Amino acid sequence: MNQGAQGFATATGLPEPGPGPVRVPQQQAATPEARERGSGAAAVRGGHPAATAAVRGEHPAAETPLPAPRPLVQRSSVRGQILDALRTALVTGELTPGTVYSAPALGEQFGVSATPVREAMQQLAQEGAVEVVPNRGFRVVRRDARELAELAEVRSLLEVPVLTRLATTVPAERWAELRPLAEATVLAASAGCRAAYAEADRAFHRALLSVAGNDQLVRVADDLHRRAQWPVTTGRHLRTELMGDAAQHGALLDALMSGDGEWVRGLLAEHFRPAV
């Protein structure tokens, strides 16, 4: 595994390579008090447990000791952390397009078993980020300008009419509440960190669409947005590209607050135009 994989594991707060998989807490045995509750009826006047329970009006099954607590399995949490780390690595380009990565090798770098890594990779395969290579692992899909243009077009078809309509119906105060999110994208862009900007950018667009009150719209648009953020080689400087994109967020809020639907439409058309 290359040093880049170790880098994104550390940057995302996941454990450094460890001696083995995540351990599940051992199951606790029943306490003496719990065992006594199951057999205490037998000590009453030396009677049979079932008979004594019947006299008291209890069902005999109540005399069976309760099972010990189940262990707390955190697999879903581990899988989610691995998935977030892999998505970040896709955005930054640390997972190289065309390269095959194996779940056991990545699991060793993360200090977990191969299972949560494989589950996270399967999710990425459903999203179109990687493809399964039988008996080898997962290959990062190569992106091209045409695919990015198609994603931008679909995002535009979803978001432009919704935000144009909301511009004429939602009060300016509501849009003003989103100003800190727009400013967060500017800060992330100025740092030149693609991963940090990707998160801030998606948070801003989610907040815009959430004003419509349609959770399904927000979910679908966010998925398209994530796919559109995978890196592609361009002739533009990264920081310049991000700063230009972030500046459009502030202008878009100004247009929404003014209630000018045509201004909003024009800004979004420029915003969704893919870089070439």
The model's confidence at residue 238, banded by pLDDT at 50, 70 and 90, is confident
Q: Is the dihedral of CA 9, 218, 273, 143 positive or negative?
A: positive
Question: Is the CB of residue 97 less than 8 Å from the CB of residue 141?
Answer: yes
Indicate if the pLDDT at residue 56 is higher than 60: no
- Whole-angstrom CA distances from 128 to 9, 57, 87, 88 are 22, 62, 12, 15
Q: What percent of the chain has pLDDT over 90?
A: 53
Question: Is the CB of residue 234 less than 8 Å from the CB of residue 275?
Answer: yes
Highest mean pLDDT of the ranges 55-69, 71-85, 106-120: 106-120
The model's confidence at residue 26, banded by pLDDT at 50, 70 and 90, is very low
Indicate if the pLDDT at residue 105 is higher than 60: yes
| Residues counted in the chain | 276
Phi, psi of 91, deg, nearest 5: -65, -40
Options 1.10.3720.10, 2.60.40.10, 3.40.50.300, 1.10.10.10; CATH for 3-23+71-140 is: 1.10.10.10
Q: What percent of the chain has pLDDT over 70?
A: 69
Question: Is the CB of residue 229 less than 8 Å from the CB of residue 201?
Answer: yes
- Token pair of 240 as six digits: 């310049």
The model's confidence at residue 58, banded by pLDDT at 50, 70 and 90, is very low
Q: What is the pLDDT of residue 275?
A: 60
The model's confidence at residue 148, banded by pLDDT at 50, 70 and 90, is confident
Query: pLDDT by residue (tens digit) across 166-192?
Result: 999 999 999 999 999 999 999 999 998
Q: What is the pLDDT of residue 100?
A: 95
- Token pair of 148 as six digits: 């990015």
Domain segments of the chain as ranges: 3-23+71-140, 32-63, 145-271
Strand partners, 133: 137
Q: Give the mean pLDDT of 121-136.
A: 92
CA 116 to chain centre: 14
Q: What is the pLDDT of residue 29?
A: 43
Q: HEC states along the chain?
A: CCHHHHHHHHHCCCCCCCCCCCCCCCCCCCCHHHHHHHHHHHHHHHCCHHHHHHHCCCCHHHHCCCCCCCCCCCHHHHHHHHHHHHHHHHHHCCCCCCCEECHHHHHHHHCCCHHHHHHHHHHHHHCCCEEEECCCEEEECCCCHHHHHHHHHHHHHHHHHHHHHHHCCCCHHHHHCCHHHHHHHHHHHHHCCHHHHHHHHHHHHHHHHHCCCCHHHHHHHHHHHHHHCCCCCCCCCHHHHHHHHHHHHHHHHHHHHHCCHHHHHHHHHHHCCCCC
Distance between first and last Cα of the chain = 32
CATH topology of domain 145-271: Four Helix Bundle (Hemerythrin (Met), subunit A) (1.20.120)
Q: Give the mean pLDDT of 29-48.
A: 44
Task: Please name the amino acid found at residue 41.
Answer: A
